[in-house]
Amino acid sequence: MDMRMLDILQEQTMHARLSKLPNSPDAMYKSACSDSIGRGECVANTRVEVLQEMHNWAYDHEGLKLYWLNGMAGTGKTTIAYTLCAQLERTRKLAASFFCSRQLPSCRDVNKIIPTIAYQLALFSHSFRQALSNALAENPEAHNQRLSEQLEGLIIEPLLEVEKDFPKDRVVVIDALDECDDQGSVDRLLTALFHKSKSLPIRFFVTSRPEAKIMDLMRKRRMREGGSSYDFTS
């Protein structure tokens, strides 16, 4: 069997494994449902200050690994996150995204966040795709495990395996975490991200309402190691 045929078979094997991940296309940036549920960019020349701060964080090579934008319902967090995605995509810095939404069942299931992000990272980077495929060969049920183990098996371990080849400082955007059904699991996911993100070659931009538990997590994190957050109340 020649090398070309081996490459084809390898790609087919990777595709078959990745296709079993329960990802949510509706939650991705530029998904087909974006217009119908009102996802879109900021109007030109609006939200200039907050967008500039997001931009500065995303393009600062020394910036912290996790940024939290919080604000009450109706303050435009999703529009800002969508605009950031557009800016990052233009410079190929957007690695993955997940827009939570109460309007869509597949977008309010916290257990689909990690598999969806892992799937997009596999599309973004061939080396990550190979590492994730190998991880799924060893543990085909990784997506059915606890969120901390999903994060470890589907994102952290494959990323660290290919860290030298993965583009640095790419950004994963997770919007409106408070719109997921299971807030207990959301808290556990955020806790895992806070603890693990420092070791990764990617960054996380997260938005949510200022829920008490999330506020407490961020407060403790800032006291311990510093942190990036923006309290968006207008």
70-89 confidence digits (pLDDT tens): 887 777 899 999 999 999 99
The confidence score (pLDDT) of residue 47 equals: 85
For 42-64, what is the mean pLDDT?
A: 88
The confidence score (pLDDT) of residue 44 equals: 84
Q: Is residue 157 a part of any domain in this protein?
A: yes
How far lies 223's CA from each of 66, 175, 187, 227, in Å? 15, 24, 18, 8
Whole-number percent of the chain with pLDDT over 90:
60
How far lies 215's CA from each of 111, 149, 164, 219, 227, in Å? 22, 24, 34, 6, 12
Buried-state track 17-39, b at ≥16 Cβ within 10 A, e below 16: bbeebebbebbbbebebeeebeb
Q: Is residue 5 a part of any domain in this protein?
A: no
Q: Is residue 10 a part of any domain in this protein?
A: no
End-to-end CA distance of the chain: 63
Confidence of residue 233 (pLDDT cuts 50, 70, 90): very low
Assigned token pair, 159: 């990323």
DSSP collapsed to 3 states, the chain: CCHHHHHHHHHHHHHHHHCCCCCCHHHCCCCCCCCCCCCCCCCCCCCHHHHHHHHHHHCCCCCCCEEEEECCCCCCHHHHHHHHHHHHHHCCCEEEEEECCCCCHHHCCHHHHHHHHHHHHHHHCHHHHHHHHHHHHHCCCHHHCCHHHHHHHHHHHHHHHCCCCCCCCEEEEEECHHHCCCHHHHHHHHHHHHHHHHHCCEEEEEEECCCHHHHHHHHHHHHHHCCEEEECCC
Side chain identity at residue 139, one-letter code = N
For 194-213, what is the mean pLDDT?
A: 87
For 215-219, what is the mean pLDDT?
A: 74
The confidence score (pLDDT) of residue 234 equals: 34
Which range scores top for mean pLDDT: 35-44, 59-68, 149-158, 213-222?
149-158
Q: Is residue 132 a part of any domain in this protein?
A: yes
CATH number for the domain that contains residue 86: 3.40.50.300
What confidence tens digit (pLDDT) does each residue in 96-126 have? Answer: 999 999 999 999 999 999 999 999 999 999 9
The confidence score (pLDDT) of residue 232 equals: 47
Which has the minimum average pLDDT: 111-120, 152-161, 219-228?
219-228
The confidence score (pLDDT) of residue 210 equals: 80
Whole-number percent of the chain with pLDDT over 70:
94
Q: Is residue 3 a part of any domain in this protein?
A: no
The confidence score (pLDDT) of residue 101 equals: 95
Q: Is residue 216 a part of any domain in this protein?
A: yes
Q: Is residue 178 a part of any domain in this protein?
A: yes
* 221 pLDDT higher than 70: no
Q: CA torsion sign, 87 to 91 to 93 to 94?
A: positive
Q: Is residue 119 a part of any domain in this protein?
A: yes
Number of domains in the chain: 1
List the domain range (segments joined by +) for residue 80.
47-231
What confidence tens digit (pLDDT) does each residue in 164-189 have? Answer: 999 989 999 999 998 999 888 888 88
Confidence of residue 229 (pLDDT cuts 50, 70, 90): low
The confidence score (pLDDT) of residue 11 equals: 86
